Structure formats: structure tokens, C-alpha cells
């Protein structure tokens, strides 16, 4: 490895650690947020809010990911002198995009709420539409930091955004439920607090990054649109895939509640319990987003330089890391699902969602790896292949839910069936993405890594499920034992070893001892 390459790896690694730390903070704050929501809104109120947030995320997340990747790509490919003008030009495009999407979403909130079988969430959805405008400006600024490889500043901005968002959501929910004269219910109050926090985050991000300079003709509107539109569409499909199971469950649970002579709001607690399971199940994906933030600009640069060997090495290293980390978290989720939900929510939520989480612990681990693969495909010019894989997975999940979930009685089995339908689609999508990525990059991950990680998950999860420790402390102890046994099995299988320690030392800037 050349001195330049080693230095790039070291800087990227340090940035990756900073972003990973920010993601861990985000996850911890998220847990605090969920516990507080449970106390403020109850399981029913949380179910209603979850429906609204899930529907909004189908639009918000594609704008977020496309903005970050688009701005990162353009800034990273520009000269130092061009970068301020490129930043302003791309930022203007995304601000307009966010405004249009926000208006359309707010105006269609009533129809969306009715289609989901949750008319009472319409006010919350209307308020969430405003966030699309704020994020249409904020997230491209995050992308600028990423393209400039200012990963530590990016991590700091992530931490600030997560903190303000949590304060806004919880503060708004608390005020709405406590104020006797307010016309807003708890979920709508939370959405209003979220919107206020998004506005504050936007001001902070402008202060950190700036707005660039006017002028310049790069990128062209047509050229950037040709890159962005497929990416937006692909991210839209990907986020539909993320939320399809929960939103379909919402609809089917409402139908089941009505058929049983109950109101549609009786479905709220089942949606809340499934969302609780998803909260834990999405942990691998959330943490592995730090891998994509580093992998995307590195792959884009390697592809631009025509270095096929470096592209293959980056892909193999990134996917290997994704497989190992997702396996670590998946083993804990499979071992003690009900105990984990009970830690953050309630016994009722754990009883309803525990079995579903055990299934999602496997399926959503595949989703985490799929997210890294699609990011790699997008950065290597494989947007169409990524789009086709995601569309196929979405179709499988939707069809499976209609076949195996719709028409079932309102019970915990409804959640388990939804989890199985979702996991099957995600596993197949990941296999398809691996085949496409292997063709584009020349390799994905060593088969032995997959075998060793799978064996480690099976052994450690089985051990944890049979420990028999009860209560909150027992869940924590069991989770620690499972995680330690997973790492231990990988060490004994020689999947983890001195080379990995040497890489960590290199990232930290310390030379390995000889």
C-alpha cells in the first residue's frame, strides 16, 4: 500500500470511527426517546405516531439519502476552487425539491391517512410535511461535509441533529398531552416539535458548512437530474421496503379490528408493538450506515481513477465488516427478543412483539447488509441493478403480506406472520444484490466469512436463549454473554485475528508492534 493510500485509509478510518460513534449516540438517544414516548403517549399513542412517522419516512429518507450521496459525489469530484460554487448550485436544486415534496405530502395527508386505516393521524402527517423542506436544505450540507471528507464535523452535526430532534419530539408530545386547551393530540404535538427541531438543525448546519458561492455551471441541471432521479426512485423503493410491512400491518390490523366489531384505533397497540420490534431490528442497519458514509466516497474516487483492484478491496472489506457487525447484533436480537422490548417499552409490548422480533432479528440483519450493497452499487454506476433488486424485494414483501397476513385475527400472530413475510423478501433481495455487486466490483465477500458468521450467530443465540436469566438485569447480562460468545466463536474460527487488530491500530494512527 502506498503512503498516499495508507493515509487515505487512516483518515477514512478515523472518520468512520467518528461517524460510528455518532450513530451509537443516535441509537442510545433513540432508546431514551422510545422509553419516554411509552411513558408520555402509551402504547396506543405510540402506535399512531409510528404510523405517521413511517409514512413520512418513505418520502423523507429518500430525500435525505439522495441529498447526501448527490452532494457528496459532486463536491468530491470538484476541484478545491470549484467546490463552493458546486455546493451552492446543488443546494439550490435540493431546496426546491424539498419544498415541492413537502407541499405535495402535506396536501395529500388526509388521503394517505385514510388509505392506511388511520384517519386520526392526518393532522400529524400534515405537520411532518414541513420537515421535507428543512431536510431538503440540511441533508445536502451533510453531504458536503462527507464529500470534503470532514467526517468528524459530519459526526458532530449528526449528534446535534439527533439531540435536537429528540428534544423536539418529546417536548412537543409532552406539551400537547398536558395542555388542556390545545387542539393537538400527543402524536401531532410530537410532529410539531420535530418540525421546530428540524428548523434549528438547518440553522446550525448552515453555520457549520455555509452556503457556498453563486456562479459556476457545474453540475448541469440535466446531468445531475439523470444521476439523482434514479437514485431518488431507488431510495424511495428502498424506504417503501423498510416501511411496507408496518404500514400493511396497520391496514390489515384495522380491517381485523373492524371485522371484530372494534374501532380502527384498536389496531394502534399492535402497530406500536410491531414498531417496538422494528426499533431493535433496525439497529444493524442504523449502525452500518456509518460504513456507507465512508465507503461511498472511497468507491467513487477509486472508480474515477480506474483502479479496479482498489474497488474490489474496498467492497470486500466493507461487506465483510457489514456481515460481521450485523451478525453480532442479530445474535442478541434472536436470543432475548422479549426481554429487549420490555426494557424500553412494557410487558404488553414484549408479549405482543417478542416473537416477531426473533424473526426480524434475522431478516433485518440481511437488510443492513443490503443497504451497504446498494450504496456500493450506486457509487459504482450500478443504480439500475440496485433499483431492480429493491423493486423485486418490495414486490415479494407486499405479496407475502397480502397472502399470509391479511384476513388474520387481531392477535400477536398477525405480527409474527408479518415478520416472516418481510424477512423472506429481504433475504432474497440481499442474495440478488450480492450477485450484481460481484459482477460490477469483481467480488463481494469470502464464503468462509459467511459460514463462520452464520455459525457464530447460531451458537451464541442458542446459548443466550437458554441462559434463563429473568428481569431487566438478566436481559442485559444475557445480551453481553451472547455478544462475547459471538466474538469468541469468530476468534476461534480465525475470522477475527491479528490482522483486524492491526487495521484498528492503523486507523488510530499507531503502527503495529513487530
For residue 248, being part of any structural domain is answered with no
CA distance linking residue 444 with residue 507, whole number of Å: 22
Q: Helix 221-259 vs helix 83-107: angle between axes, to the nearest 10 degrees?
A: 30
Per-residue cell: 150: 470532514
- DSSP code of residue 481: H
For residue 289, being part of any structural domain is answered with no
The pLDDT of residue 294: 61
Task: Report CA-CA distances (Å) from 410 to 238, 262, 269, 416.
Answer: 28, 10, 11, 12
CA distance linking residue 412 with residue 410, whole number of Å: 7
What does residue 336 show for φ and ψ, rounded to 5 degrees? Answer: -130, 60
Cβ–Cβ under 8 Å, residues 61 and 235: yes
The pLDDT of residue 300: 61
The pLDDT of residue 1: 46
Give the chain's domain count.
Answer: 1
- CA 222 to chain CA centroid, nearest Å: 29
The pLDDT of residue 78: 73
For residue 279, being part of any structural domain is answered with no
The pLDDT of residue 11: 53
Domain range for 56 is 1-219
For residue 415, being part of any structural domain is answered with no
Reported as type and span, the H/E element at residue 500 is helix 498-507
**Gyration radius of the chain over CA positions:** 22
For residue 90, being part of any structural domain is answered with yes
pLDDT in tens, 462-508: 999 888 777 888 899 999 999 999 999 999 998 877 766 665 555 44
Q: What is the pLDDT along the chain (514 residues), one digit of tens a residue?
A: 444 445 555 555 555 566 667 767 777 787 778 778 777 888 888 888 888 988 898 888 888 888 888 888 788 777 777 778 888 888 888 888 889 988 999 999 999 999 888 888 999 999 999 888 888 888 888 888 877 777 778 888 888 888 898 899 999 988 888 875 556 788 889 999 999 999 998 999 888 888 877 766 677 777 788 888 877 887 788 788 888 999 999 999 999 999 888 888 888 999 989 988 988 888 888 777 766 656 656 666 666 666 677 777 778 878 888 899 899 999 999 999 999 998 878 888 899 999 999 999 999 899 888 888 887 887 777 778 878 888 888 998 899 899 989 988 889 999 999 999 999 888 988 998 898 888 888 888 888 989 999 999 999 999 998 887 778 888 999 999 999 999 999 999 988 777 666 655 554 444 444 3
Cβ–Cβ under 8 Å, residues 173 and 41: yes
For residue 79, being part of any structural domain is answered with yes
CA distance linking residue 248 with residue 94, whole number of Å: 30
For residue 238, being part of any structural domain is answered with no
For residue 211, being part of any structural domain is answered with yes
- CA 2 to chain CA centroid, nearest Å: 34
Contacts 24+ apart (CB under 8 A), 257-261: 257/410, 260/409, 260/410
**Helix residue spans in 148-220 (DSSP H):** 151-178, 186-209
This prediction has a pTM of 0.77
Amino acid at each position: 500500500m502506498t503512503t498516499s493510500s495508507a493515509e487515505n485509509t487512516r483518515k477514512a478510518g478515523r472518520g468512520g470511527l467518528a461517524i460510528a460513534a455518532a450513530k451509537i449516540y443516535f441509537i442510545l438517544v433513540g432508546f431514551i426517546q422510545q422509553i419516554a414516548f411509552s411513558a408520555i403517549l402509551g402504547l396506543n399513542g405510540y402506535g399512531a405516531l409510528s404510523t405517521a412517522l413511517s409514512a413520512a419516512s418513505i418520502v423523507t429518507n429518500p430525500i435525505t439519502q439522495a441529498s447526501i450521496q448527490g452532494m457528496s459525489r459532486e463536491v468530491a469530484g470538484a476541484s478545491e476552487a470549484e467546490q463552493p460554487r458546486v455546493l451552492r448550485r446543488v443546494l439550490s436544486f435540493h431546496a426546491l425539491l424539498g419544498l415541492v415534496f413537502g407541499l405535495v405530502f402535506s396536501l395529500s395527508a388526509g388521503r394517505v391517512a385514510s388509505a392506511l386505516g388511520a384517519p386520526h393521524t392526518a393532522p400529524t402527517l400534515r405537520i411532518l410535511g414541513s420537515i421535507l423542506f428543512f431536510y431538503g436544505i440540511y441533508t445536502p450540507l451533510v453531504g458536503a461535509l462527507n464529500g470534503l471528507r470532514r467526517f468528524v464535523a459530519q459526526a458532530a452535526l449528526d449528534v446535534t441533529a439527533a439531540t435536537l430532534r429528540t428534544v423536539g419530539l418529546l417536548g412537543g408530545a409532552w406539551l400537547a398531552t398536558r395542555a388542556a386547551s390545545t387542539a393537538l393530540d400527543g402524536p401531532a404535538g410530537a410532529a410539531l416539535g420535530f418540525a421546530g427541531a428540524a428548523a434549528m438543525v438547518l440553522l446550525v448546519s448552515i453555520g457549520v458548512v455555509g452556503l457556498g458561492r453563486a456562479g459556476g455551471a457545474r453540475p448541469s441541471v440535466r446531468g445531475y437530474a439523470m444521476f439523482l432521479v434514479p437514485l431518488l426512485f431507488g431510495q424511495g423503493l428502498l424506504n417503501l421496503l423498510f416501511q411496507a410491512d408496518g404500514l400493511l400491518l396497520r391496514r390489515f390490523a384495522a380491517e381485523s379490528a373492524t371485522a371484530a366489531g372494534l374501532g380502527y384505533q384498536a389496531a394502534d397497540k399492535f402497530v406500536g408493538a410491531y414498531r417496538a420490534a422494528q426499533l431493535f431490528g433496525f439497529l444493524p442497519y442504523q449502525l452500518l450506515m456509518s460504513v456507507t458514509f465512508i465507503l461511498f466516497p472511497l468507491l467513487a474516487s477509486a472508480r474515477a481513477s480506474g483502479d479496479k483492484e482498489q474497488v474490489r478491496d474496498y467492497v470486500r472489506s466493507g461487506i465483510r465488516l457489514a456481515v460481521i457487525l450485523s451478525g453480532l447484533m442479530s445474535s442478541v436480537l434472536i436470543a432475548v427478543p422479549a426481554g429487549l422490548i420490555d426494557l424500553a417499552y412494557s410487558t404488553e409490548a414484549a408479549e405482543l412483539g417478542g416473537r416477531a422480533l426473533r424473526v426480524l432479528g434475522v431478516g433485518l440483519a440481511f437488510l443492513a447488509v443490503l443497504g451497504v450493497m446498494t450504496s456500493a452499487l450506486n457509487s459504482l454506476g450500478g443504480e439500475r441493478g440496485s433499483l431492480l433488486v429493491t423493486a423485486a424485494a418490495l414486490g415479494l414483501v407486499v405479496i407475502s403480506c397480502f397472502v399470509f397476513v391479511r384476513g388474520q385475527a387481531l392477535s400477536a400472530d398477525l405480527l409474527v406472520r408479518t415478520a416472516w413475510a418481510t424477512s423472506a423478501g429481504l433475504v432474497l433481495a440481499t442474495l440478488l444484490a450480492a450477485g450484481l455487486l460481484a459482477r460490477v466490483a469483481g467480488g463481494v465477500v469470502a464464503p468462509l466469512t459467511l459460514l463462520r458468521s452464520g455459525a457464530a450467530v447460531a451458537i451464541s443465540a442458542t446459548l443466550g436463549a437458554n441462559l434463563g436469566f429473568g428481569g431487566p438485569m438478566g436481559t442485559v447480562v444475557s445480551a453481553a454473554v451472547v455478544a462475547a460468545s459471538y466474538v469468541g466463536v469468530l476468534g476461534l474460527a480465525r475470522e477475527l485475528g491479528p490482522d483486524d487488530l492491526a487495521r484498528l491500530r492503523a486507523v488510530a494512527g499507531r503502527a503495529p508492534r513487530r
